[in-house]
Structure 1
Amino acid sequence: MERTIVIGHGHFATGLQSALELIMGIQKNIEFIDFDRNMSIDDLRSKIKTITLDENTTVFVDLFAGSPFNVIVDEILHGANTRLFYGITLGMLMEYVSKLSFDIKLSDEEIVDIGKNQVGKFILTNYFQNDSVDEL
């Protein structure tokens, strides 16, 4: 069974959890870990050490080279066989969770592509070609 962990600075992870569960319901196989101002890096490291990081685990963090990222990289360097992605967004997590609900395991490239496709610029003229706002 695929296991997912989301880690972020402040209340980023539990903020994603709140939004995700509002839209998609309670998620049982996802653990959300906040790295808040009252925690040290050692506290975060201790919390991570209680989690099994294996080939069935995918970890998402908020920032490249931030403390959550660095702690997971350290675990990988010490033998943890897990996937690590940085730059998680709500849209990316929703699409990932949706695929998992149908037992679709995404490749690393597919996960990165989802993240890239979740960022864009709204251009008003693209939405009003039929002079109707009903489609929004």
Structure 2
Amino acid sequence: MKQEVAVILASHGNFAVEALNSLEMIMGKQQNIQAISLHPGEGLTDLIERMDIIYQGLEKEHGTIIISDIFGGSPSNAATALYLKYPDYPIALFTGLNLGVLIELATIRDREFNEVLQAIDNICGQIWLRVDQNLHKGIEEEDL
């Protein structure tokens, strides 16, 4: 298996699961991509635990990208908790899950992690919000 950046898709309802299904319909079976859904009645703590289990099961030596549906929602907050739990691992957080960008991501996942992140930033512009960079800005401002 070729080494690729790992990806977790996270959403309210089945959006992430169906986005992955749609991606695979177009691009073929994808390795090292998992989707997680938050359903009514489930809490943030449970979602964090399930996301951590998924994260542990991925081949993440080349970095991990977590893409949630909307900023500030429980899937995004769970991704942020995971990011903060593993500060020494290359994890990038994005919001704004959509099929067009997933298709582009599927074609570049075999590049170096930072190159993949730069390509996503270039592709998405204002479509996605780069959460981890905003977290660092907030942490740096608090240190002043």
Q: TM-score, normalised by structure 1?
A: 0.74
Report whether the alignment pairs 1:109 with 2:112.
no
Distance 1:93 1:21 in 2: 10
Cα deviation for residue 38 of structure 1 reads 4.1
Runs (5+) with no aligned partner, structure 2: 128-144
Q: Give the alignment partner of residue 37 of structure 2, picking from 16, 34, 37.
A: 34
Cα 1:40–1:116 change in 2 (3 A) is: same
Q: Unaligned 5+ residue runs, structure 1? A: 119-136
Q: Give the drift of 1:8.
A: 0.8
TM-score, length-normalised on structure 2? Answer: 0.70
Which residue in 1 is equivalent to 2:94?
A: 85
Structure 1: how far apart are the matches of 2:126 and 2:46?
34
Residue 94 (structure 1) aligned with residue 97 (structure 2): no
Identical aligned residues as a percent: 30
Task: Choose which of 6, 9, 14 in structure 2 pairs with 1:11.
Answer: 14
Alignment size in residue pairs: 117
Code of the aligned partner of 1:61 = S
**Structure with more helix by fraction:** 2
- Highest relative contact order (Cα 8 Å, sep 6+), 1 or 2? 2
Q: Could you say which residue in structure 1 is the equivalent of 2:141?
A: none
